[in-house]
Structure 1
Amino acid sequence: MPIEYPPRISLARLPTPLQPLDRLTEKYSAPHGGPRLWVKRDDLTESGMSGNKLRKLEFIAGAARDRGCDTLITCGGIQSNHCRTTALVGARLGMRVQLILRGEHSGAADGNLLVDQLAGASCGFYPPREYFSRQAELFEYWRDFYEHRGHRALCIPTGASDGLGIWGYIAGAEELLEDCRALGFEPDQIICATGSGGTQAGLTLGCHLLGARSRVTGFAVCDSAEYFQQKVREDVSEWKAGREDATDPGKLDVTVNADYIGPGYAIADEAVYRTIAEVANLEGLLLDPVYTGKAFHGLLQELHGGRYQHCENLVFVHTGGHFGLFPHREHFGFLQ
């Protein structure tokens, strides 16, 4: 049966391209008997609003409109792709945007933060300890702040990863599988970066609902494999609430590789920066050091080690993030 989707506002340029990565396949996969590599270009969902968050925000914006909201409140790091996309979505739809940002800021804005400011979002900066310990309180404060001024706000969690945002990648999974079938195959593996869990949750649930045999693997960029396995199942449980659906979140195959997180969230080592440069050089594909660069580096290491030999086709979901590349410019000194 076809999937019945909730209200959404069309914002992304869909479908995004699915393209082969033949030079990377030849170098990293073919010598080990591995799969043909493909990339789903969700970095091309739009220009400024590019990336995976826009798919989620289509459904969140639809819910905001249905609930009579004129303000969006969300949170993330200073270089959050999700916050940048939310700021631009709000500007596009004529909604106010309040960002709760982790970290202290001084000097000129760069990368995603610069775009936040260009889009007119209001930015509140909080030291990490306060950001994490008071996050629920901060959301409540800003929601009340706008309510007392005659506005109605919708609060969006980190990465738009919850039972509503998950719809973005249920639809994304359906689109990806249709792309692959049009080219005569069903992917054995679908790979994505996992930073808040919502994209992996949507892809995993979408493949399950559509009866696909494709296995989804998330390469974690923070936290642990156990954390993301639980988070994905929590998102699916929230999605299921109030629905007549037989899906058991506990029985979903939630596969997470947490071996390539490196020094920590948003901190990469030189090997990741060299992978970013190599992928750009071989395929003209821009990755970022926080999400896609780490995940793709991990994928290449796994292929070099002989992983995925049983696969014929592997699709990497490019979730965007190129604005976050530029604040890391000092780490590419080896190019000079």
Structure 2
Amino acid sequence: MINYPERLNLAQTPTPFYPLERLSKQLGGPRIWIKRDDLTGAATSGNKVRKLEFLLAEALAKGCDTLITSGGVQSNHCRSVALLGAQLGLKVHLLLRADIEPKPVGNLLLDQLAGATISHYSLDEYRGLNKLFNQWQEHYAALGRKAYAIPTGGSNGTGMWGYIAAAEELSQDFQRHAISPAAIVHATGSAGTQAGLMLGCQLHQINTQVKAYAVCDNAEYFTRKVRGDLEQWQSHYSPQTDISGLVADTSDEYIGPAYGVAGEEVFECIKEVAALEGILLDPVYTGKAFFGMIEDIKKGKFSQWDGDDIVFVHTGGLFGLFAQQHRLGY
């Protein structure tokens, strides 16, 4: 029995789990299943809500009245923090990296509607993110407020609990459908979901490979970041848990031109999956990962693991699609 820390009830869970029969038939196997974590909420949809159940519980337990977090202009994480902060009556301050032009569409529009304070920073300024966090925490302390800093993507030892719990949910999905998948596939950007799923599979005794598709950085970065998150979790929550066998399996072959920038092949994949299965992917995260998974299926890379089933965890991102709708050619 796993003793979870305090959490808030913010996500609509369990999320749906079912096979993509038409796509699987079109590929000629394996059978692809989808875990619809894009349905954890309406405006707060996506994987970040699972992490924030634990992070925001910690913020409230510490008596914080202000949330500071960071991400790109179209950050799904920042949008979730902005909306959940408003829901909980907390002030939210977003530190946004100017990776693309900050037009008031998609996630940024929702950030503004939620009343978040927004500071935009150049790529060079954003490299000093830790300093920025400290400066703003000191600023709010001088105003008599107590600010809680949430790392980019909500990815740290505390946020990992969201996908340790999701792994337990997946275990129940697998039992209900009597499957033992060869792999659990997902997009990775800040590595928290990746670390949580890896540890969750170990803790819940799920004998399935966790395969991540990077949307930025390289495989070596994710090896280090996942290890750091795991060690932070271990030191803070469970020193007796052996994490030595957990090694990140990350593909960095389908990142494309840059973070938030996808090639035409990803947009074609997004359109094909929407028309075939009614599943909406985004060009920043899920579109790249889904495209990478399909390409690797065609290359036979998943045949190295036993099992006729593959599970894709849909981590959300719908609103980011609107910021790049011109790339869809409609």
Give the corresponding residue for 1:98. 93
Given that 1:105 and 1:125 are in contact with CA atoms closer than 8 Å, whether structure 2 keeps it comes out as no
* Identity between Structure 1 and Structure 2 (%): 51
Which whole-Å CA distance do the structure 1 matches of 2:307 and 2:220 have between them?
25
Give the corresponding residue for 2:105. 110
Residue aligned with 1:251, SS: coil
Aligned residue-pair number:
328
The residue type paired with residue 65 of structure 2 is D
Residue aligned with 1:124, SS: strand
Which whole-Å CA distance do the structure 2 matches of 1:148 and 1:113 have between them?
28
Q: 1:39 to 1:138 in 2, by over 3 A?
A: same
The residue type paired with residue 89 of structure 2 is G
Q: 1:224 to 1:78 in 2, by over 3 A?
A: same
1:173 aligns with 2:172: no
Q: CA deviation at 1:244?
A: 4.0
1:205 aligns with 2:199: yes
Match runs of 1:58-69 below 5 Å: 58-69=53-64
Q: CA deviation at 1:40?
A: 0.2
Taking structure 1 as the reference length, the TM-score comes to: 0.95
Residue aligned with 1:125, SS: strand
Which whole-Å CA distance do the structure 1 matches of 2:218 and 2:103 have between them?
34
* Residue deviations 1:226-261 (CA, integer Å, cap 9, x gap): 110111111010001144443343421321111101
Give the corresponding residue for 2:11. 12
Q: Which moved more, 1:271-280 or 1:311-320?
A: 311-320
Q: 1:108 to 1:303 in 2, by over 3 A?
A: closer
Residue aligned with 1:234, SS: helix
Given that 1:190 and 1:217 are in contact with CA atoms closer than 8 Å, whether structure 2 keeps it comes out as yes
Q: Which moved more, 1:104-113 or 1:45-54?
A: 104-113
Q: CA deviation at 1:152?
A: 0.7
Which whole-Å CA distance do the structure 1 matches of 2:18 and 2:235 have between them?
36
1:292 aligns with 2:264: no
Give the corresponding residue for 1:191. 185
* 1:146 aligned to which of 132, 140, 149: 140
Which whole-Å CA distance do the structure 2 matches of 1:104 and 1:198 have between them?
21
Give the corresponding residue for 2:149. 155
Give the corresponding residue for 2:314. 318
Q: CA deviation at 1:329?
A: 1.1
* Residue deviations 1:59-109 (CA, integer Å, cap 9, x gap): 001101111011110000010000000000100100000000001887750
* Residue deviations 1:5-63 (CA, integer Å, cap 9, x gap): 000110000000001101110112x2xxx421000000000000000000000000110
Given that 2:192 and 2:229 are in contact with CA atoms closer than 8 Å, whether structure 1 keeps it comes out as yes
Residue aligned with 2:324, SS: helix
Which whole-Å CA distance do the structure 1 matches of 2:237 and 2:92 have between them?
30
Q: Name structure 1 gaps, 5 residues minimum.
A: none
1:24 aligns with 2:35: no
Which whole-Å CA distance do the structure 2 matches of 1:289 and 1:191 have between them?
17
Q: 1:101 to 1:186 in 2, by over 3 A?
A: same
Which whole-Å CA distance do the structure 2 matches of 1:97 and 1:219 have between them?
30
